[in-house]
Chain A
Amino acid sequence: MTHIIRLTLKEIINKRIFHMGLILTAVYLLLYGTGLHYMVKDRVMTGDQFWYAQEVGYQFLTMGWYFSTFLSGALAILSGSGSISREIESGTILTLASRPISRKAIVTGKFLTYSAVTAVYSGILVAAITLLVIHYFKLLVDPMSLLSGIGLFMLMPVVLLAVAHLVSAIWSTLAAGVTAFMLYATATIGGFIEQMGALMNNPDIINVGIISSLIMPSDALYRLAVSIAGGKLGQGAIAFSPFGATSTPSTAMLIYALLYVVLILILAIHLFQKRDL
């Protein structure tokens, strides 16, 4: 499997899309930082204003994290949707699969590499966002909660990647991309509906969101991550942010998401082993 991991890493590093992604991420962070700069410029952050700034800071933190899910999600979908199918479409799979490398190793090695890269990317992205908010709003954070939140956030693109990877093992790159994107959209909309339901205190609407999270737990993971990241200091602000978590998923959702990834990977291995190349 180490051959596949090494090969996939080389592929990622050599791909132009990866370089473009890094450049666009830098642009995104620059824009976000510039926005924050002008937001706090000439504002006094002492006395009562300090606590007000804390509230606003947490709102901006959740907003930054929320928009980062799109970047992380896009990277996960783009990486996962072609992970296997692109090899099949280009014909390189014939060389790869005819070597003494099991199909299980191909599927697992590629998944682990893409997962690690997208997770690390996502972690660095939200860490950078958080540092910008801390810097401009003098935000008080609980470091342990924040690190736990970032860790959970890193899992969010992995579930998306798992689905894209599964479809990529059996269908075309386009089909994998569209399927993963549709599920992502379902989860995002479902997550919003759930938050609305929580604000309206309507259990039926909340259940709609929970069902969408069971289909694709990416949004639930995000809400859980942002809720944990805020800790006690940001709890109040995050609960009332449209990008936060009024309805916080339980830790059972985390276990579900982990099982979801493992089961999808097993299914991807099984289906790829049966596939004719």
Chain B
Amino acid sequence: MLIETTNLTKQYGDHVACQNICLSLEEGQVFGLLGPNGAGKSTLVKMLLGLVHATSGQASIMGAPLGDREAISKMGYLPELFRQYEWLTGAEIMQFNARAYGIAAREQKQRISETLELVGLLGREKEKVNQYSKGMQQRLALAAAILHCPTLLFLDEPTSALDPIGRREVRDIITVLKNRGTTIFLNSHLLSEVEMTCTSLGFINKGQMLHNGPIETFMKETHEIRIEVGEMDHVEIPLWMEQKQLIADEANNLLFKVEEREDIPRIIQELVTAGARVYGVESKRRGIEEVFMELMEG
């Protein structure tokens, strides 16, 4: 396991930022951590990076304890607050990071150029950071985080300052890194972004990890069907539908959540058999957003 935590907890006085977080992350995964503001996402990442000290619990990264310099040298981190030294140029920021990560002097120039090109900043590196837009600063921070080809990359809201084109580019960069074998830990509010890029997910709220696992486990129950029916007064809905699958019924609409696609004709058939007049069926795939809302609302 690349990341292994057991009951990892962080308390600030009476406030519990993270509580008994148990998480295992294998190499090569793109893990998306989802949760509302203040859920404990950034605190968890900071604990894993050794920036915040855990109150209790155990954790290891690449088999080393948290804060281990050797492990940190194989990690990259793009903080949510991605401020850089404004009095340095983009190139100077990259050179500082190259030296800090111990990249050989002869490789630095090429590595910096390649990384800047990847984030779309090649040609702007001689400008001072205070002349960069917010989006450019975030791209630079991302470049600094991936310069040394990390084994494990933490991205905390990596697209918060980017326009839709920039967001798409970051998604592409994540794909490139994933294909290189980099394990990515992604904190994001953008559920669609997570859905498109992640292989596994974790849902956190009020400091507690509600669920985590491969994305398929969440997407398994992701069919939602809306059936437009006629008068239902004399129709008896089978018990199994009522108890297990009926989410809510609106006026002349029945809403079902089904695990298997094959359940859809079965439901319609049973409704018709029970005497319901079916006028229309709308099937839609439930996204992460619906799963997220369901989990957060408890």
Chain A residues proximal to chain B, CB less than 8 Å: 3, 6-7, 10-11, 14-15, 90-92, 94-95, 97-102, 274, 276-277
Q: Is residue B39 within 8 Å, beta carbon to beta carbon, of the partner chain?
A: no
**For chain B residues 48-62, which have a beta carbon within 8 Å of chain A?**
49-53
Chain B residues proximal to chain A, CB less than 8 Å: 46, 49-53, 69-70, 72-73, 75, 77, 79, 81-85, 87-88, 92, 96-97, 99-102, 141, 144
Give chain B residues whose Cβ lies under 8 Å from the Cβ of A3. Answer: 96, 99-100
Contact between chains at A100 and B101 (CB < 8 Å):
yes
Contact between chains at A94 and B81 (CB < 8 Å):
yes
In the complex, residue of chain A having the shortest beta-carbon distance to the beta carbon of B141: A95
The CA-CA distance from A94 to B79 in the complex, in Å, is 7
By secondary structure, the A interface counts as helix
CB distance from A89 to the nearest CB of B (A): 10
Contact between chains at A94 and B51 (CB < 8 Å):
yes
Contact between chains at A98 and B79 (CB < 8 Å):
yes
Contact between chains at A98 and B87 (CB < 8 Å):
no
In the complex, residue of chain A having the shortest beta-carbon distance to the beta carbon of B54: A276
The CA-CA distance from A226 to B97 in the complex, in Å, is 44
Contact between chains at B52 and A100 (CB < 8 Å):
no
The CA-CA distance from A142 to B84 in the complex, in Å, is 50
Give chain A residues whose Cβ lies under 8 Å from the Cβ of B101. Answer: 99-100
Can you give 7 contacting A-B residue pairs, CB < 8 Å?
A90-B83, A91-B81, A91-B83, A92-B85, A98-B77, A276-B46, A277-B46
In the complex, residue of chain A having the shortest beta-carbon distance to the beta carbon of B87: A14
CB distance from A85 to the nearest CB of B (A): 14
The CA-CA distance from A275 to B166 in the complex, in Å, is 35
In the complex, residue of chain A having the shortest beta-carbon distance to the beta carbon of B75: A98
Give chain A residues whose Cβ lies under 8 Å from the Cβ of B96. Answer: 3, 6-7
In the complex, residue of chain B having the shortest beta-carbon distance to the beta carbon of A92: B83
Contact between chains at A97 and B51 (CB < 8 Å):
yes
Give chain A residues whose Cβ lies under 8 Å from the Cβ of B141. Answer: 95
Give chain B residues whose Cβ lies under 8 Å from the Cβ of A91. Answer: 79, 81-83
CB distance from B45 to the nearest CB of A (A): 10
Contact between chains at B53 and A276 (CB < 8 Å):
yes
Contact between chains at B51 and A98 (CB < 8 Å):
yes
Contact between chains at A100 and B84 (CB < 8 Å):
no
CB distance from B99 to the nearest CB of A (A): 5
CB distance from A10 to the nearest CB of B (A): 7
The CA-CA distance from A11 to B85 in the complex, in Å, is 8
Give chain B residues whose Cβ lies under 8 Å from the Cβ of A99. Answer: 72, 97, 100-101
Contact between chains at B69 and A102 (CB < 8 Å):
yes
Give chain B residues whose Cβ lies under 8 Å from the Cβ of A10. Answer: 87-88, 92
CB distance from B232 to the nearest CB of A (A): 57
Give chain A residues whose Cβ lies under 8 Å from the Cβ of B52. Answer: 276-277
Q: Which of B46, B75, B83, B88 has the most chain A CB within a 10 Å cutoff?
A: B83
The CA-CA distance from A276 to B72 in the complex, in Å, is 17
Give chain B residues whose Cβ lies under 8 Å from the Cβ of A14. Answer: 87-88
The CA-CA distance from A220 to B52 in the complex, in Å, is 40
In the complex, residue of chain A having the shortest beta-carbon distance to the beta carbon of B79: A94
CB distance from A113 to the nearest CB of B (A): 14
Q: Which of A11, A94, A102 has the most chain B CB within a 10 Å cutoff?
A: A94
On whether A101 and B46 interact (CB within 8 A), knowing A11-B87, A92-B84, the answer reads no
Give chain A residues whose Cβ lies under 8 Å from the Cβ of B50. Answer: 98
Contact between chains at A7 and B85 (CB < 8 Å):
yes
CB distance from B211 to the nearest CB of A (A): 27
Q: Which of B79, B84, B101 has the most chain A CB within a 10 Å cutoff?
A: B79
Other-chain contact of B100, A11, A94, A100 (Cβ < 8 Å): A100
Give chain B residues whose Cβ lies under 8 Å from the Cβ of A6. Answer: 96
The CA-CA distance from A97 to B50 in the complex, in Å, is 9
In the complex, residue of chain A having the shortest beta-carbon distance to the beta carbon of B85: A92
The CA-CA distance from A11 to B84 in the complex, in Å, is 12
On whether A15 and B79 interact (CB within 8 A), knowing A101-B100, A277-B52, the answer reads no
Contact between chains at A274 and B51 (CB < 8 Å):
no
Q: Which of A15, A90, A95 has the most chain B CB within a 10 Å cutoff?
A: A95
The CA-CA distance from A253 to B158 in the complex, in Å, is 54
